[in-house]
Amino acid sequence: TEMTAWLRELPKAELHLHIEGTLEPALMFALAERNGVTLPYESVEAVRAAYDFDDLPSFLTLYYQGMGVLHTRENFFDLAMAYFDRAREDGVAHVELSFDPQAHRVRGVPLEAPFEGLLAACREAESRHGISSALIMSFLRDRDPAEAMEVLEQAAPWHASIAAVGLDSAERDHPPGRFAEVFARARAMGIPGVAHAGEEGPAAYIREALETLDVCRIDHGVRCLEDADLVATLRERRIPLTVCPLSNVKLKVTPTLAEHPLPALRDAGLNVTLNSDDPAYFGGGMLDNHVACHEAFGWTRNDFLAMTRNALEAAFMAEERRDVLL
Ligand code: ES4
Ligand code: ZN
């Protein structure tokens, strides 16, 4: 439709994207073959059929299993380039790729593989597609914070290439405060923080992420509406929420998109952005997420322009680049 064409042309910024969550089944099979990994699936169709999730943990099991085919820096390069090629088709102008070094380290993959593979892909995306990007190194909140600290130190050769540190994985019973020292250490190195909070976990985890980690953005944050004081804080401080509509439906954070809190978040005056999270698992990229919101909420061009501006203002991006896109 005309709106879809307009949304594709809109130069969008994607701030919440797990690069391991962009692994399409066809590439998963190709990399499994290349690396001698046995997958518990017969076919690409069987993989797709398995993507029927009840909640965040049921997704994470398949997400960590799927990324097991990633071994070398070339594998990470191929993964990211396949994503960048699709992002270009979606009209994405800027991407902040998050990755989970600990999930690879536990499989014996050294930090160098994701760092060098992803950074090479980011350079290639700039020259091939004119897409700017930034790297977010995320820590797994369901693992020991001491391990996260160790990874932060081991990542020293790439500190200048890290736009921010993040916090993801299973949220329930894993409050953000445990990572206060890790985020403080990163901040002391000049690296800001972002954190998933209020996706499956309570609104209190959003406040805790702001107060103990001093994060400058909240990933998801949709459950903030359960706490009016928190909503006021988020509004007053204009904290960006990187919301992922199709992800929330797929992981049953909301029963349907029509019932998603996005319109309520916007009505509350919050700084909302639209993102795809794990597009290979959740049924669509940036353009699909935008089109779905247009259909579910009747949002018009001005609504999407406002949210795209929110994203560009919240991005880890050189001012000269922001001036070009805004
Ligand atoms: C994630 Cl949707 C989501 N939530 C938390 N952690 C994640 N890692 C990858 N996708
Ligand atoms: Zn996420």
Each residue of 95-143: pLDDT tens digit? 999 999 999 999 999 999 999 999 999 999 999 999 999 999 999 999 9
H-run or E-run covering 157: none
pLDDT value at residue 29: 98
Query: Separation of 168 CA from ligand 1 center, angstroms?
Result: 6
| Of 273, 276, 277, 275, residue with least CA distance to 306 | 273
Taking residues 32-44, report their average pLDDT. 97
Taking residues 66-82, report their average pLDDT. 99
pLDDT value at residue 304: 98
pLDDT value at residue 94: 99
Place of tokens 């928190």: 230
Nearest atom of ligand 1 to the alpha carbon of 20: 9
Choose, from 20, 24, 199, 208, the residue flagged as catalytic. 199
Query: Separation of 175 CA from ligand 1 center, angstroms?
Result: 15
pLDDT value at residue 233: 99
Q: Which ligand is nearest to the CA of 55?
A: 1
- pLDDT above 90 covers a percentage of the chain that reads 100
pLDDT value at residue 16: 99
Q: By the 8 A CB rule, do 73 and 158 touch?
A: no
196 annotated as a binding-site residue = yes
Q: Bridge-partner residues for 140, per DSSP?
A: 168
Query: Separation of 253 CA from ligand 1 center, angstroms?
Result: 12
129 annotated as a binding-site residue = no
Q: Please return the burial class of 259, using the count of CB atoms within 10 Å of its CB with bins 0-12, 13-18 and 19+.
A: exposed
Domain count, the chain: 1
pLDDT value at residue 69: 98
The HSE-up count of residue 209 (CA atoms within 13 Å, CB side) is 35
288 annotated as a binding-site residue = no
**The tokens of 104 are what?**
């690879």
Q: For this structure, is 199 an active site residue?
A: yes
Mean pLDDT of all residues in the chain?
98
pLDDT value at residue 224: 99
pTM: 0.98
* Site to substitute for ligand 1 among 243, 278, 282, most atoms within 8 A of C-beta: 278
ipTM given for this complex = 0.98
Query: Separation of 115 CA from ligand 1 center, angstroms?
Result: 19
Query: Separation of 98 CA from ligand 2 center, angstroms?
Result: 9
* Site to substitute for ligand 1 among 63, 102, 104, 167, most atoms within 8 A of C-beta: 63
**The tokens of 30 are what?**
């190709």
Q: Which ligand is nearest to the CA of 60?
A: 1
pLDDT value at residue 246: 99
| Of 98, 85, 92, 90, residue with least CA distance to 312 | 92
pLDDT value at residue 113: 99
173 annotated as a binding-site residue = no
Q: Whose CA is nearest to atom 7 of ligand 1?
A: 169
- Pairwise CA distance, residues 227 & 98, whole Å: 28
Of the pLDDT bands very low, low, confident and very high (cuts 50, 70, 90), residue 305 is very high
290 annotated as a binding-site residue = no
pLDDT value at residue 301: 98
Q: By the 8 A CB rule, do 168 and 197 touch?
A: no
| CATH code for position 63 | 3.20.20.140
Q: Whose CA is nearest to atom 6 of ligand 1?
A: 169
Residues with Cβ within 6 A of ligand 1? Answer: 18, 21, 56, 63, 168-169, 196, 199, 247, 277-278
Nearest atom of ligand 1 to the alpha carbon of 168: 6
- Pairwise CA distance, residues 318 & 323, whole Å: 9
CA atoms 75, 136, 213, 63: torsion sign: negative
Taking residues 192-216, report their average pLDDT. 99
Assign residue 173 a region (left: φ > 0; alpha: ψ between -120 and 50; beta: otherwise): left
Of the pLDDT bands very low, low, confident and very high (cuts 50, 70, 90), residue 3 is very high
CA 189, 194, 198 angle in degrees (round to 5)?
150
Question: Which structural domain, as residue segments, surrounds residue 45?
Answer: 2-325
* Site to substitute for ligand 1 among 23, 51, 59, 282, most atoms within 8 A of C-beta: 59
pLDDT value at residue 12: 98
